[in-house]
Structure 1
Amino acid sequence: MSQNFNELQKKRRSIYVIGKNVAVNKQEIVELVKNVVRESPSSFNSQSSRVVVLFGDDHEKLWNIALDELRKIVPADAFAATEQKVNGSFKAGFGTVLFFEDQDVVKGLQEKFPTYADNFPVWSEQASGMAQYAVWLALAEKEIGATVQHYNPLIDQAVASTWGIPASWKLRSQMPFGSIEAPAQAKTYMDDDARFKVFLG
């Protein structure tokens, strides 16, 4: 059933109870991610976003890395809850999308357009956010649940060495995804008057 854009936006939620019962095959998910990121906007058409998609043992390895790093900083008496969250909400899923921004692209633009040098790191972050949101929407359209996580920079070094990530790629977020095993909680909205101003001329 076709959905209009706003309906799809409402469908995209942070799904924390995910599983491996995904009807879409891995290659279709890969092509979906590629196509969505390819069409995501970026300043000066810089195409600075970089993506790694992990399935199976690689997906689980990522979340084991996160647990290993968290174990170093989380108090022992609080670690059980952390481990339960990582295993149940992230590792239990079907896969993970890692989003990076290529800093060589950012630096190249700073050198080429020095007038805007201070803005390019900001615009890179905006490009990453748009790519993440677009992928999230595309997964939601396929009835695949996801969240956006930020275990960077804690896991950066281990991720880079494990999957041979170029030094210029800066990890920005992790998106574990999978079958929706429990719905998201109801979303609340602040009053429009506090959020929007409209001037009709």
Structure 2
Amino acid sequence: MPSKAAQFLETLAARRTIYALKPELPANVELQNVRDAVQEIIKHTPTCFNSQGNRAVILTGESHKCVWDHVYKTIPIEAYKTRPLSARDEALGTVVFLVNDAKTKEMQEAFPAWSDLFPEFVAHSSGSAQISAWTALELLGFGAHLQHFNELVKDALPKDTVKEEWKVQGQLVFGLPVTGPIEKSFMENEVPLLE
């Protein structure tokens, strides 16, 4: 396999969910490095019809703690409070992924034949941005895990930064890893090559 492809696949395969984090930066990494990586990913992630509806906000410090405290206090099921509490207290920050719903509606009106499919197209693009950002943060030395407390997070985001028409798609919680990932098992899922 060509070396660039092998390096890419090795990096992608090494990405894992890491919950045990601490609110610190890896050596020689600054928050600006996180911002720069996420900015490039949002800019270059493909979108349907080049609609460019992906958005992101990076929360650290008090904004990070405030959002996760809101989720912790608001979530109605006690069994689901553990993850928001650990995100609040043990992580350094969160990348909140959003999409521009106004742009999605605009695309639905412009291309009525695909109208019902646009929310799915948008979710695919957001997912691409999320996995790319997750992998990039791991290359910077962070551990991370992906959460989906979407509406609760949206309610706590600063209204002067996050527009009403932006819909939350996921939250990538990151920090310095305390432990490595758990071993991952794989099911058989051979990809056929048809000629």
**TM-score, normalization by structure 2:** 0.89
The one-letter amino acid of 1:16's match is Y
Over 3 Å counting, the alpha-carbon distance change for 1:90 and 1:41 in structure 2 is farther
Q: Does 1:45 align with 2:42?
A: no
What does residue 179 of structure 2 align with?
A: 182
Q: CA deviation at 1:8?
A: 0.5
The alignment status of 1:198 with 2:187, answered yes or no, reads no
Tell me whether 1:9 sits opposite 2:4 in the alignment: no
Give the conservation status (yes or no) of the 8 Å contact 2:68–2:87.
no
**Residue of structure 2 in register with 1:35 after alignment:** 40
Q: CA deviation at 1:158?
A: 2.9
CA contact (8 A) 2:45 2:129 kept: yes
May I ask how many residue pairs the two structures share in their alignment? Answer: 189
Q: Is the 8 A contact 1:22 1:179 kept in 2?
A: yes
Aligned to 1:172: 169
1:164 Cα offset (Å): 4.4
Unaligned runs of 5+ in 1: none
The sequence identity of aligned pairs, in percent, is: 29
**C-alpha spacing 1:89/1:164, structure 2 compared with 1 (3 Å):** closer
Matched residues in 2 for 1:173 and 1:67: separation?
A: 16
- State TM-score, norm by structure 1: 0.86
TM-superposed deviation, 1:89: 4.7
In the alignment, is residue 21 of structure 1 matched against residue 24 of structure 2? Answer: yes
Q: Is the 8 A contact 2:25 2:92 kept in 1?
A: yes
| CA distances 1:57-81 after superposition (whole Å, capped 9, x unpaired) | 11111110111112xx124xx57xx
- 1:7 is displaced (CA, Å) by 1.0
Map 1:101-116 onto structure 2 (within 5 A): 101-116=99-114
Deviation at 1:138, TM superposition (A): 0.5
Alignment of 1:124-163 (within 5 A): 124-159=122-157, 161=159
Equivalence for 1:123: 121
**Is the 8 Å Cα contact of residues 59 and 91 (structure 1) preserved in structure 2?**
no
Query: Would you say the 8 A contact 1:66–1:155 is kept in 2?
Result: yes
Report deviation, 1:38: 0.8
SS in 2 for 1:176: strand
| Equivalent-residue separation in structure 2 for 1:101 and 1:22 (angstroms) | 28
Q: CA deviation at 1:191?
A: 1.1
